[in-house]
A and B are shown apart, each in its own frame.
Chain A
Amino acid sequence: MLPEDAAAAIGRAASTSFSDYIAAQNPAALPSARNAGNHAVSGADLAPHATTIVSLTYAGGVLMAGDRRATMGNIIASRHIEKVFPADMFSVLGIAGSAGIALDITRLFQVELEHYEKIEGTRMSLDGKANRLAAMIRANLPLALQGLAVVPLFAGFDTTSRIGRLFSYDVTGGRYEEQEHHSVGSGSVFARGALKKLWKPNLGEDDAVKVAVEALYDAADDDSATGGPDVVRQLWPVVYTVNGAGARRIPERSLADAAGEIIASRSVSGREA
Chain B
Amino acid sequence: MTQQFYVSPEQLMKDRADFARKGIARGRSVVVLSCREGIALVAENPSPSLHKLGEIYDRIAFAAVGKYNEFESLRQAGVRYADVRGYSYDREDVTARGLASVYAQSLGAVFTAESKPFEVELAVAEVGASIAQDHIYRLTFDGSIADETGFIVMGGQADAVVNALKGRWSAEQDFGDAIRAAVDSLRYDGGTTSEPKAHLGSKTLEVAVLDRDPLSARGNVRAFRRVGAREVDIMLDADRASL
Residues of A that sit less than 8 Å from B by CB: 1, 18, 21-22, 25-26, 29, 89, 107-108, 111, 114-115, 118-119, 121
B108 contacts partner chain A, Cβ-Cβ < 8 Å: no
A107, B89: Cα distance in complex, Å: 12
Q: Is the CB–CB distance between A114 and B84 below 8 Å?
A: no
A21, B84: Cα distance in complex, Å: 9
Task: Enumerate B49-84 residues with CB–CB distance to A below 8 Å.
Answer: 49, 51, 54-56, 76, 79-80, 83-84
A244, B88: Cα distance in complex, Å: 32
- Name 11 A/B residue pairs within 8 A (Cβ), A-sorted: A18-B80, A18-B83, A21-B80, A25-B84, A26-B84, A26-B88, A108-B87, A115-B79, A121-B49, A121-B51, A121-B54
List of A residues within 8 angstroms of B214 by Cβ:
none
B27 contacts partner chain A, Cβ-Cβ < 8 Å: no
List of B residues within 8 angstroms of A107 by Cβ:
87
Given known A118-B55, A121-B49, contact A22–B87 (CB-CB < 8 A): yes
List of A residues within 8 angstroms of B83 by Cβ:
18, 111, 114-115, 118
List of B residues within 8 angstroms of A119 by Cβ:
76, 79
Given known A119-B79, A121-B49, contact A22–B54 (CB-CB < 8 A): no
Residue of A22, A115, A118 with highest tally of chain B CB at under 10 A: A118
A16 CB to closest chain B CB (Å) equals: 8
A29, B88: Cα distance in complex, Å: 7
A21, B83: Cα distance in complex, Å: 11
A81 CB to closest chain B CB (Å) equals: 19
List of B residues within 8 angstroms of A1 by Cβ:
115
List of B residues within 8 angstroms of A115 by Cβ:
79-80, 83
Task: Enumerate B113-162 residues with CB–CB distance to A below 8 Å.
Answer: 115
List of B residues within 8 angstroms of A108 by Cβ:
87
- The chain B residue with its CB closest to the CB of A114 is B83
Q: Is the CB–CB distance between A111 and B87 below 8 Å?
A: yes
| Residue from A26, A118, A121 within 8 A of B56 (CB atoms) | A118
Q: Is the CB–CB distance between B88 and A118 below 8 Å?
A: no
A187 CB to closest chain B CB (Å) equals: 30
List of A residues within 8 angstroms of B76 by Cβ:
119
List of A residues within 8 angstroms of B79 by Cβ:
115, 118-119
B201 contacts partner chain A, Cβ-Cβ < 8 Å: no
Other CB < 8 Å A-B pairs besides A1-B115, A18-B83, A18-B87, 12 of them? A21-B84, A22-B84, A29-B88, A108-B87, A111-B87, A114-B83, A114-B222, A115-B80, A118-B54, A118-B56, A121-B51, A121-B54
A111, B54: Cα distance in complex, Å: 17
List of B residues within 8 angstroms of A21 by Cβ:
80, 84
A18, B76: Cα distance in complex, Å: 11
- The chain A residue with its CB closest to the CB of B219 is A248
